[in-house]
Amino acid sequence: MTSILSRLLGAKPGPGMHAPERKTGFPMLAFHHPGRGLFGEASGVALVRAGFHRNPVVHRCVRLIAEAAANVPLALTVDGAEVADHALERLLERPNPRESGIALLDGVFTQLLLFGNAYLHLISDEEGPREIHALRPDRVRVVPGADGWPRGYEYSLGPARSLIAVEPDGLQPILHLRLADPLDDHQGYAPLSAAQVPLEMHEAASRWNKALLDNSARPSGALVYASPENLTDLQFDRLKAELEQAFSGQSNAGRPILLEGGLDWKPLALTPKDMDFQEARNGAAREIALAFGVPPLLLGLPGDNTYSNYAEANRAFWRQTIVPLVRRVSGAMAQWLQPAYAARITLLPDLDQIEAIAEDRTALWKRVSEASFLTDEEKRGALGYGTAAKPRSARRNGRP
């Protein structure tokens, strides 16, 4: 193969042309500064776009938690007794004309994981609550009063602003759900914000691998010119252009290069084997999963992927992540809606209908059923049930 370098180094000026100036050699020092983070803010829309929209690990963690939590059945009790066909049950099944109850809760859990905050807006009339809508957290601003407690919530949609006032007592129009932040009185802290550093590492490793593939899967390097005479400007520019056109990119992958005229190739960057980018990506993915409370096995990350380990990881996922999150949200919603009903209401996850923890519930049922010193009502309470459901004839004459 004819060497492009021999043509470049042997080029002579044509008739009427002046010899190009030669580069003067000077000592050169290279300084490297750590790059800035990919995401400039600890929370907000930019971080959500970088994480949930572009990162598969974050997206899968959020979808796993939100879909599982939204589909957990909720058990309603009124004055400690289970009831059927209650107005609150109908409201939660169809909170507004556009969404089902599962769709609404799916959005609430997603917002909590990504923003650390979720807002529910209640529309009611003289007869009680009628609709529940979820508001985007990035459009809601807490307006504190003189005493530091929120006196309202400002909702913005483009240039329009509207203030939803908060009353001292009674049924409130806004339920603010938030994950605790010890350094903020009004806003929560999202798991996505806690995973910002491993998210940046995962993003940087992915971009590096993509750039490496685009550059024919070769790390960066330098051509060292060992001749005592430096290259001219014309030779330097032509050499750079020829190398970029003939030896860079996917279409030129594997093409051999013939070096002549005292040129030698010196790699400047560590090889993928030395830096072990794949393991770095896996480590960052595990840290992201840790921040969200998702066992890495459920994401298909390398590890002890046996059936027994997977089953135990799934049970731990439900016990430590899903059930506490559902209890938190359902309990807050029951307290929020309590002023609309005369009787005491509770909303709790129906653990007996969750297949993932069926073994745990079976063991608990066995222990409670064998406790001969407990009455039937005490056994129901130990299992998380209220008193026995009232007959339908008894419920017709009174308000549930």
pLDDT of residue 203: 86
Read off the tokens for 204: 């940087």
Q: Is residue 391 included in any domain, yes or no?
A: no
What tens digit of pLDDT does each residue of 293-307 get? 999 989 988 765 665
Q: Is residue 167 included in any domain, yes or no?
A: yes
Whether residue 241 sits in one domain with residue 138: no
Whether residue 308 sits in one domain with residue 200: yes
Whether residue 251 sits in one domain with residue 202: no
Whether residue 150 sits in one domain with residue 118: yes
The CA distance from 363 to 369, in Å, is 10
What tens digit of pLDDT does each residue of 55-104 get? 999 999 999 999 999 999 999 999 988 887 899 999 999 999 999 999 99
Q: Is residue 261 included in any domain, yes or no?
A: yes
The pair phi, psi for residue 29, each rounded to 5°, is -120, 140
Helix, strand, coil share of the chain (percent; to 5): 45, 15, 35
Whether residue 47 sits in one domain with residue 169: yes
Q: Is residue 9 included in any domain, yes or no?
A: no
- Residue 325 exposure: Cα atoms within 13 Å on the Cβ side: 32
Whether residue 263 sits in one domain with residue 130: no
Residue 120, pLDDT > 80, answer yes
Cα–Cα distances (Å) from 275 to 57, 202, 207, in that order, read 21, 14, 15
Of the candidate ranges 33-47, 109-123, 183-197, the one whose mean pLDDT is the lowest: 33-47
Whether residue 153 sits in one domain with residue 126: yes
Q: How confident is the model at residue 108 (pLDDT cuts 50, 70, 90)?
A: very high
Contact between 58 and 199 (Cβ < 8 Å): yes
Q: Is residue 18 included in any domain, yes or no?
A: no
Can you say how many angstroms the Cα of residue 335 is from the centroid of all Cα atoms in its chain? 28
Report, as an integer, the average pLDDT of 209-217: 68
Whether residue 297 sits in one domain with residue 149: yes
The CA distance from 195 to 180, in Å, is 16
276 DSSP assignment: T
Q: Containing H/E element for 162? A: strand 160-165
**Between 324 and 388, residue with greater pLDDT:** 324
Would you call 168 exposed, middle or buried from its count of C-beta atoms within 10 A (0-12, 13-18, 19+)? exposed
Residue that is written with structure tokens 């400047």 in the block: 268
The number of folded domains in the chain is 2
The pair phi, psi for residue 40, each rounded to 5°, is -80, -15
**Between 134 and 16, residue with greater pLDDT:** 134
pLDDT of residue 101: 95
Among 268, 300, 335, which residue terminates a domain? 268
Give the relative orientation of helices 101-115 and 56-70 as an angle to the nearest 10 degrees: 140
List, in order, residues 6 or more apart from 130 with CB less than 8 Å away: 91, 123, 124
Q: Is residue 70 included in any domain, yes or no?
A: yes
The rounded mean pLDDT for the chain is 79
pLDDT of residue 8: 43
Whether residue 82 sits in one domain with residue 141: yes
Residue 259, pLDDT > 90, answer no
Q: Is residue 31 included in any domain, yes or no?
A: no
Whether residue 256 sits in one domain with residue 119: no
pLDDT of residue 35: 47
Write out the residue range of the structural domain in which residue 259 sits. 221-268
Whether residue 190 sits in one domain with residue 50: yes
Read off the tokens for 78: 């009124």
pLDDT of residue 81: 85
Predicted TM-score (pTM) of this structure: 0.73
What tens digit of pLDDT does each residue of 329-387 get? 999 999 999 999 999 999 999 888 888 777 776 766 677 777 777 787 776 776 666 66
140 DSSP assignment: E
Q: How confident is the model at residue 169 (pLDDT cuts 50, 70, 90)?
A: confident
The CA distance from 313 to 294, in Å, is 9
**Between 322 and 217, residue with greater pLDDT:** 322
Q: Is residue 308 included in any domain, yes or no?
A: yes
Among 268, 291, 307, which residue terminates a domain? 268
Whether residue 282 sits in one domain with residue 257: no
Q: Per-residue b/e over 121-139, b at no fewer than 16 CB within 10 Å?
A: bbeeeeeebebbebbebee
- Residue 376 exposure: Cα atoms within 13 Å on the Cβ side: 2
The CA distance from 321 to 346, in Å, is 21
What tens digit of pLDDT does each residue of 15-69 get? 555 554 554 444 444 444 444 445 555 668 999 999 999 999 999 999 999 999 9
What tens digit of pLDDT does each residue of 262-282 get? 666 666 555 555 556 677 888
pLDDT of residue 69: 96
